[in-house]
Copies of this chain bind each other. A is one copy, B any other.
Amino acid sequence: MKVITVREKILKANSQAARENRARFSRKRIFVINILGSPGAGKTSLLERFAQTGGIAFSVMEGDPETALDAERMEKAGASVVQIITKGSCHLDANMVQAALPRSDLDGKDFLFVENVGNLLCPASFDLGEHIRIVVLSTTEGADKPFKYPAAFKTAQSVILNKTDLLPYIDFDLDLFNRGVAQVTPKAKVFSVSCRTGEGIDELVEWIKKLKK
C-alpha cells in the first residue's frame, strides 16, 4: 500500500509540472510531441528524416538512459537539440523536461519533439506537458505489440509503423497489427513509413504541419 501511495504522489507532482510545461509551451506557441517506442524502433531516425525533408521548424529533446549519441545524430542532421541523460531511469518526467527547457532553443520554432527513453512501458505513465503523443513501432518488433503493450498505444494520437522496407524479409502479420490498433487505440491515425528509404515520410510530415494551427 505504501508503494502505491508514493507512486500516486510522484504522478501527482509530475502532473503539476506537466501542466506548468504545457502552459509555458502554449505561451510560446510551441506544439509539443512526445515520441514513445522500444529501443531501436526508429524514433531518432524519424527525426533525422524530418530534418532532411524540411517544412517543419522544430527543436528536439533527446531522452536516453546513457550517452549523448542521439543528440550527436540530431546535430549532424542539422537540428537544434538538447540531450537529457536519465542515468538509467526508464522514462522522462515533466521535471526533467522543465529543467532542460532553458537549454532548448525554441525561438522561431513551431514544434518541439521530445524523444522519450526507448521503452514501451514506463514512459506511458508520465505526462511531460506535451500536446500529443505518437508511438513508433517497427515491423521487426512483431505485430502483437499493441495487444501486449497497450498503455503506450492507448494514449497515442498516432501510431507510426516503421521499417516497412523490411516487410519482404520478415513474417509480419499486418492483419493482427490492424486488429490490435483497432482494439487498443481505435482513434489513432496510423502511418506506415520507412525511415531508411523515406517512404511515407512526406504524408506524415503534412499531417504534423496541420497539427499546429
Q: Does A57 touch B at the CB level, under 8 Å?
A: no
Q: Does A39 touch B at the CB level, under 8 Å?
A: yes
Mark the stretch among A24-32, A104-112, A143-151, A200-208 that contacts chain B: A143-151
Q: A6-B2, A121-B117, A140-B166 are in contact. Are A150 and B40 (CB under 8 A)?
A: no
* A148 partner, pick from B10, B67, B144, B147, beta carbons under 8 A: B67
Q: Does A141 touch B at the CB level, under 8 Å?
A: yes
A162 to chain B: closest CB distance in Å? Answer: 10
Give the docked Cα–Cα distance between A39 and B196 (Å): 21
The interface residues of chain B lying within 8 Å CB-to-CB of A138 are 40, 140
A34 to chain B: closest CB distance in Å? Answer: 18
The interface residues of chain B lying within 8 Å CB-to-CB of A69 are 144, 147-148
A141 to chain B: closest CB distance in Å? Answer: 3
Q: Does A193 touch B at the CB level, under 8 Å?
A: no
The interface residues of chain B lying within 8 Å CB-to-CB of A40 are 38, 138, 140-142, 145
Q: Does A99 touch B at the CB level, under 8 Å?
A: no
The interface residues of chain B lying within 8 Å CB-to-CB of A142 are 39-40
Q: Does A190 touch B at the CB level, under 8 Å?
A: no
A188 to chain B: closest CB distance in Å? Answer: 17
CB <8 Å contact, A66 and B121: no
Chain A window 140-181, contacts with chain B (Cβ cutoff 8 Å), 1 for yes, 0 for no:
111011011111000000000001011001110000000000
Give the docked Cα–Cα distance between A117 and B209 (Å): 36
CB <8 Å contact, A38 and B3: no
Name the 6 nearest CB pairs between A and B, nearest first: A40-B141, A140-B140, A90-B121, A40-B142, A38-B39, A38-B38
User: Which A residues contact B (CB, under 8 angstroms)?
Assistant: 2-3, 6, 10, 38-40, 64-67, 69, 88, 90, 117-122, 138, 140-142, 144-145, 147-151, 163, 165-166, 169-171, 196
